[in-house]
Structure 1
Amino acid sequence: MSETATAVVRPRPGVRAWPLYVGGFLGPYASTMVTPMVQEVAEGLRSTPELAAVAVTAYMLPFAALMLVSGTLAERWGRARTMRVSLLAFVLACALCTLAPDIGWFLAARALQGATNAFTTPLLVAAITDLVPRARLGRALGLFAGMQAAGQAASPLVSGPSAVLDWRLAFVFPAGVAVALALFSPTMTAHDRPAGPPSVRALANRNLAVACALSFLCYLAAVGLTVLSILRAEEDFGLGPWQRGLLAAAFGVAGLAAAPLLGRRLDAIGPRRTGVLMNLLLAAGLVTAAFGSGVVLLGAGIAAVGIAVTGLRTTINSIATTSTDTNRAGAVSLALSFQFFGGALAPLVWVPLHAAHGAVGFAATAAAPLAALLLLGLVRSDRPYRGGGHGARRRGHRADVVS
C-alpha cells in the first residue's frame, strides 16, 4: 500500500505509539453508541424513547464540563497515571450501564462514562503532538481523526445488531478496548517537555479561542445529524435497528477512508483553508441528508458530513495543540470541551425544530458550519506546517511516529 493511502506507525525503541491512535476510537464510539438503539433501551428499561435519547446528553455534559480542566489537571497529576485510572473507571462505567435496572441508573452510568473519557482524549492528542515532528503533525492528527471516525463507524455497527439480541451487549466491546489500552499503555510524554506545572495563562490566546468556537459549532451540527438522520431513517423510510446502524456507519466509514488525505492536505495548505473547505462540505452534507428523496441520498449526506467532521477534528486539534507549548493537554481539553458542549446541546436544539418543521428543521443544522466560516478569518496564521523554527528544533530528536 502506498504512502498516499495510509499512515505508517514507526516508533523508535522504547516508544509505544499505536495505543495513542487506538485510544481515539473510544470517545466517539461511546458518545453515540446509544443513538441506534434508543427504542430498544427505552423498552428494556420501561421508559420512553425521548428519555432514552437523553443518554447522549448525559454522556456529553460531564464529558464537556470536565474537559474544561481535565487536561491541565492531568498534566499536574501525570499523563500516564491519569490515563490508566481513567481507562479502568471507564470499564466500571460500561459495567454499570450493562447492569442498569432502570433509566435513572442507566443515565447516571452514561454520565460516568463521559466523565472518565474527559481524562483520555485530550491526553492522547497532546502526546501525539509532543512525539511527532511538526512537519508531519497534520498526518498524525489525521490518523488520530481517522480512528475517531472508526469509533463513529463501529458504534452503530456494534450497537445496532446488539439491540436485535440485547442492547446491553453493546457495552461489552468498548469495555474490552479500554482494558486493552490499560494493559498496553502508550508513551505519553516526550523527553523534552517543559519542566514545572502547566501554565493556565498560556491558554488565553486567540487561536485557542477560535478552536473552541469551531469545536462547538462542528459538533452542534454533527450530533444533530446523527440524531436526526436516525429519526428520519425510521420515520420516512421505515428502517429497523440493523438497517439504521448500517446507514449511520457511513459517517465513520467515510471519515476513516478520507483521514490520510485530509491530514496531508492540512500539512500542505494549513488550518484556515482546510477549515473553510470542510465547513462548506459539512453544510452541503447536512442539506443533502435533510432533503434527500431516498435512502441513498440520505446516506450520501451522512458520508459527506463524516468526511467534513474528520477534517475539522484534525484542523481544530492542530490549531489548539499548537497554540501553546507549555500546556498542550490543557489546550486540547479546553477545545474538546466546547466540542462536546455543542454535541450535548444538539438534540435539545434540533429535535424540536425537526419535529415542528420537518426537513427544513433538519436543514437548519447547516447554520452552524456557515457561522464557522466567519470565525476562520480570526486564525492568526495559515502557513502549512513545514517544520523548522523553535518547535522543530526542540523536537528534532523525537520519535518519527508517523510517516
Structure 2
Amino acid sequence: MRSTRVWPLYVGGALGPYGSTMVTPIVQEVADGLGTGPEAATAAVTAYMIPFAALMLVSGTLAERWGRGRTMRVSLLAFVVTCALCALAPTLEWFLAARALQGATNAFTTPLLVAAITDSVPRERLGRSLGWFAAWQAAGQAFSPLISGVSGAVDWRLAFAAPALCALFLAALPADPAATERRAAGRATWSSLLNAPLALACALAFLCYLAAVGLTVLSALRAEDAFGLGPVARGLVAAAFGIAGLLLADTAGRLLDRLGPLALGVLANAVLAVGLVTAALGPTVAAMTAGIVGVGAAVTALRATVNTVAATSAPGNRAGASSLALSFQFFGGALAPVVWVPLYGLSAGWGFAATAAAPLLALVLLGAVLRRSGPRPDGPGRPEPAPGGPRAAG
C-alpha cells in the first residue's frame, strides 16, 4: 500500500484517546460554565467511555458485515455533530448526554482502523505499523489536554472544534479502499472471538487503561492541588504522556516485532508500575512529569501489543476482535475515575500510587501465561500473513 493511502488510518487513531480525555484538564472550567462542581464534571470522562466501550463489544463485527468504509464515514460525520452538541450544551445534563453520544459514534471508527491496518501490511511489518498507530493514539492523548487547556483559558467550548475538524478531514479523505471498503462474506462470526489470545488481549487492555486513565485524571488533580498549576500548565504536564508515547512508538513497534507480545507486555507493565508510583509520589512537578513520561511510553507499547494480539486472533473477523479488546480497554478507562478518585480523596499520594496495582496484576497474568506456554516465537499475537498476500506498508 502506498504511504499516502496509509497515513489517514494512523491519523484516525488519535480521535478515540483525544475524545476520552479532552475534558480532564478543563474540569474546573466546564464546571464553572455549566454551574456545577468539578466532581460532577469529571463524570464527562465516564459518560464518554461507557457507551464507547459498550458498543465496541459489537461494533467491529457489525461493521465487517455492513462494510468498513461506509460505517466509518457515517460514524465520523456523526462524531462531528456530537462535538457541536457538547460545545452548545446549556446544562451539565445536556453536556453528559452529548458526551455519551460522542463516545457511541467513536465506537465505530477506532476498531475498523486497526483491522484495516492489519489487512494492509506484510507480516514482518505489522508490529511496527501498529506501533505507529499507537503513536497517533498517543498524539491524540498528548494534544488533547494541551489544546483543551489552551481553549479553557479562553472558552472551554472551543475545545470541541479540533476533534470535529479532524473527523471532517478523515471523512473527506478515505484511505485505501482495499482495506477500508472490505466487507465480510459470511466470515464475521461471533464464535470466532472465543479464543485464548483474544481473552489475554482483553485482560491486558482493561488493566492498562484502568491505570492510564487513572493517571490522566489524578495527575490533573494533583497538578492543581499540590502545585497550584493553571489549565494551560496542567495541559502541558498532561501532554508529556502522549508526547513520550509518540516519540517512542516506532521503538515499541520494533521491539514488538523482535521480542513478541508476551515479553514486551512484561517489560511495558513493569515500566508502567514504576511510572505511576513516580507520578503519584514525586515531590516536584519535574518528578511527576517524569513519571507521566514513563507511563506514556509504557501505554503506547501496550497498545501496540494488545492491538496485535487481538487483530491476529481472528483473521475472519479482525474488526470484531479489535473492537472487543478496545471495548475492554475503555471499560477500564471508564471505571478509572470511579475507582481511583475516591482513593485520592482519602489519601492523595498513596491513593494515586494505588493505580500501580493494575500493571502489577497484569504482570501476574503474563507470568502465568509464560509459565504455562513459554515465550514461543509463534506465541499469542504473533502476526500471520494478511489475507490476499502482503502489501507494501506505508
2:202 aligned partner: 212
Equivalent residue in structure 2 for 1:33, among 5, 22, 34:
22
Q: Which amino acid is the alignment partner of residue 336 of structure 2?
A: A
Q: Distance in 2 between matches of 1:316 and 1:381?
A: 18
Q: Which amino acid is the alignment partner of residue 378 of structure 1?
A: V
Shift of residue 399 of structure 1?
Answer: 2.6
2:336 aligned partner: 346
Q: Which amino acid is the alignment partner of residue 121 of structure 1?
A: T
Q: Which amino acid is the alignment partner of residue 102 of structure 1?
A: T
> Are the equivalent residues in 1 in contact too, given 2:65–2:185 (CA < 8 A)?
no
- Residue 378 in structure 1 maps to residue 369 in structure 2: yes
Q: Distance in 2 between matches of 1:390 and 1:21?
A: 19
Q: Which amino acid is the alignment partner of residue 158 of structure 2?
A: L
Q: Distance in 1 between matches of 2:95 and 2:71?
A: 25
Q: Distance in 2 between matches of 1:390 and 1:78?
A: 23
2:269 aligned partner: 279
Equivalent residue in structure 2 for 1:237, among 209, 212, 227:
227
**Residues 92, 135 of structure 1: alpha-carbon distance in 2 compared, 3 angstrom cutoff:** same
**Residues 177, 385 of structure 1: alpha-carbon distance in 2 compared, 3 angstrom cutoff:** farther
2:102 aligned partner: 113
- What is the DSSP-based 3-state SS (H/G/I as helix, E as strand, rest coil) of the residue aligned with 2:315? coil
Q: Distance in 2 between matches of 1:62 and 1:138?
A: 29
> Are the equivalent residues in 2 in contact too, given 1:289–1:301 (CA < 8 A)?
yes
Equivalent residue in structure 2 for 1:330, among 320, 337, 345:
320
Q: Output the TM-score relative to the length of structure 2.
A: 0.95
> Are the equivalent residues in 2 in contact too, given 1:134–1:385 (CA < 8 A)?
no
Equivalent residue in structure 2 for 1:63, among 12, 28, 52:
52
Equivalent residue in structure 2 for 1:317, among 289, 307, 326:
307
**Residues 395, 193 of structure 1: alpha-carbon distance in 2 compared, 3 angstrom cutoff:** farther
Equivalent residue in structure 1 for 2:13, among 18, 24, 39:
24
> Are the equivalent residues in 2 in contact too, given 1:217–1:368 (CA < 8 A)?
yes
Q: Which amino acid is the alignment partner of residue 363 of structure 2?
A: L
Shift of residue 134 of structure 1?
Answer: 1.1
Q: Which amino acid is the alignment partner of residue 171 of structure 2?
A: A
Q: Which amino acid is the alignment partner of residue 285 of structure 1?
A: G
Q: Distance in 2 between matches of 1:243 and 1:42?
A: 19
Q: Distance in 2 between matches of 1:291 and 1:86?
A: 41
> Are the equivalent residues in 2 in contact too, given 1:127–1:188 (CA < 8 A)?
no
**Residues 70, 188 of structure 1: alpha-carbon distance in 2 compared, 3 angstrom cutoff:** farther
1:95 aligned partner: 84
Q: Distance in 2 between matches of 1:390 and 1:245?
A: 37
- Residue 42 in structure 1 maps to residue 31 in structure 2: yes
* Structure 1: runs of 5+ lacking an equivalent: 1-9
Q: Distance in 1 between matches of 2:364 and 2:206?
A: 14
Percent of aligned positions with the same letter in both sequences?
65
1:4 aligned partner: none
Q: Distance in 2 between matches of 1:205 and 1:189?
A: 27
Q: Distance in 1 between matches of 2:163 and 2:104?
A: 15
Q: Which amino acid is the alignment partner of residue 83 of structure 1?
A: M
Q: Distance in 2 between matches of 1:394 and 1:317?
A: 17
Q: Distance in 1 between matches of 2:182 and 2:340?
A: 46
Paired residues for 1:357-372 under 5 Å: 357-372=347-362
> Are the equivalent residues in 1 in contact too, given 2:123–2:384 (CA < 8 A)?
yes
Q: Output the TM-score relative to the length of structure 1.
A: 0.93
1:303 aligned partner: 293
Equivalent residue in structure 1 for 2:243, among 239, 253, 257:
253
- Residue 168 in structure 1 maps to residue 157 in structure 2: yes
1:400 aligned partner: 392
> Are the equivalent residues in 2 in contact too, given 1:138–1:266 (CA < 8 A)?
yes
1:80 aligned partner: 69
1:138 aligned partner: 127
> Are the equivalent residues in 2 in contact too, given 1:79–1:189 (CA < 8 A)?
no
Aligned residues: 388
Q: Which amino acid is the alignment partner of residue 24 of structure 1?
A: G
Indicate the structure with greater helix content: 2
Q: What RMSD over aligned residues (CA atoms) do the two structures have, in Å? A: 1.9
Shift of residue 186 of structure 1?
Answer: 1.6
2:137 aligned partner: 148
Shift of residue 77 of structure 1?
Answer: 0.6
Q: Distance in 2 between matches of 1:227 and 1:236?
A: 14
Deviations 1:200-240 (A, max 9, x none): 11100001001101111000000000011111100000000
Q: Which amino acid is the alignment partner of residue 138 of structure 2?
A: A
Q: Distance in 2 between matches of 1:378 and 1:272?
A: 8
1:268 aligned partner: 258
Q: Distance in 1 between matches of 2:257 and 2:275?
A: 24
> Are the equivalent residues in 1 in contact too, given 2:119–2:387 (CA < 8 A)?
no
Q: Which amino acid is the alignment partner of residue 319 of structure 1?
A: V
* Structure 2: runs of 5+ lacking an equivalent: none
- What is the DSSP-based 3-state SS (H/G/I as helix, E as strand, rest coil) of the residue aligned with 2:5? coil
Deviations 1:277-303 (A, max 9, x none): 000000000000111010000000011
